[in-house]
Amino acid sequence: MLGSVLAGLTPLTLPTTPPLVLRGRAFDAGRPAVMAIINRTPDSFFGGNRHAQLDSAKRALEQALELGADLIDVGGVRAGQEGEPVDEAEEVRRVVPFLEWARESHPDVILSLDTWRSGVALAAADAGVDVVNDTWAGADPDLVHIAAQLGAGYVISHTGGLPPRTDPVAVTYGDDPLDVVRDVVTTLARGAHAAEQSGIPPERILIDPTLDFGKTTRHSLEVLRHTADVAALGYPVLQALSRKDFVGESLDLAPEERLEGSLAATAVAAWLGATVFRAHDVRETRRVVDMVATIRGDRPPVHARRGA
């Protein structure tokens, strides 16, 4: 038995994706990226990330950069339908002045705008937005074209066809548990192709399985297990896992208690080929993804003195 085990040992092969390139910086398996979340909202589902006041948002950005964030993702509307109504003018008021301050104060920072509205992205043009994070899967068909016009990257998401700010109810993708994975992979492939056709280079296209959106907890867990199949599409993979409901329902925990579960999901996604991680907890996520990259062999240890 030992002989057969030794004979079967082969070099480790793990999923990889091409690098994401923004502002001349490349992020890949050896240099994973942490996307810090700054919600300019009073009603975010996680109380630790409500920055409706401008000074609070500014402090959050400074702290995120100090803790190791590579990208800053700024949103002005709560994703779920429980939040207050926010029209386009109010969303612009919440996010654009902050983005303009961030660009002026930190000229080299990589800024991401979390919106589904093309008008909001256009209003943020002077801030030099680097990524348009379209979390509602092209609900506004003009948004991808505005992103291309701005020279920004673009996030392709999967929401199961739900319109913005719709919570999933009685969602089904078929009798086979893998049907949701097939739908995710197909939708992301089509969206990435459309983004390229709109003029966005592939190295600036991120694909996001978008767990929780249009999915039950069982759906999200199945898709997470199949992160490698998403990575096989050949674009950088973004996983937005932080403190989400699939973590809370898996462990029966409120958002404030979901850090460890989020980090476990992050480690699995990183092992399976995701390289960009949207997170509330920057320092902890930074350490996890760097450690996984080192275990995978994509990133060398900072020191390797033990036993040398």
The edge-to-edge listing of strands for the beta sheet with 110-114 is 205-207, 153-156, 131-133, 110-114, 71-75, 33-39, 276-279, 238-240
pLDDT values of the chain reduced to their tens digit, one per residue, 308 residues? 888 888 888 888 999 999 999 999 999 999 999 999 999 999 888 888 889 999 999 999 999 999 999 999 999 999 988 878 999 999 999 999 999 999 999 999 999 999 999 999 999 999 999 999 999 999 999 999 999 999 999 999 999 999 999 988 999 999 999 999 999 999 999 999 999 999 999 999 999 999 999 999 999 999 999 999 999 999 999 999 999 999 999 999 999 999 999 999 999 999 999 999 999 999 999 999 999 999 999 999 999 999 98
pLDDT of residue 199: 98
Query: 259-271 vs 217-225: helix axis angle to the nearest 10?
Result: 40
Place of tokens 């092992």: 271
DSSP-assigned letter for residue 84: P
Which amino acid is located at 256 in the chain? E
Which amino acid is located at 7 in the chain? A
pLDDT of residue 166: 92
pLDDT of residue 164: 95
278 is catalytic: yes
pLDDT of residue 1: 81
d(CA 221, CA 251): 13
DSSP-assigned letter for residue 280: S
pLDDT of residue 251: 98
Strands 25-27 and 20-22: antiparallel
Contact between 158 and 209 under an 8 Å Cβ cutoff? The reply is yes
Which amino acid is located at 146 in the chain? I
Domains and CATH numbers, the chain: 31-296 (3.20.20.20)
pLDDT of residue 3: 84
| pTM, two decimal places | 0.95
d(CA 27, CA 222): 26
Q: In terms of Cα–Cα distance, which of 186, 202, 275 is closest to 235?
A: 202
Q: In terms of Cα–Cα distance, which of 48, 52, 108 is closest to 254?
A: 48
Instruction: Identify the active-site residue in 278, 286, 296, 299.
Output: 278
Q: Which contiguous run of DSSP H or E holds residue 155?
A: strand 153-156
pLDDT of residue 176: 97
C-alpha dihedral over 129, 135, 141, 147, to 10 degrees? Answer: 20
244 is catalytic: yes
DSSP-assigned letter for residue 140: S
CB atoms within 10 A of CB 70: 22
C-alpha dihedral over 134, 136, 141, 144, to 10 degrees? Answer: 10
Query: 179-197 vs 143-150: helix axis angle to the nearest 10?
Result: 50
pLDDT of residue 82: 82
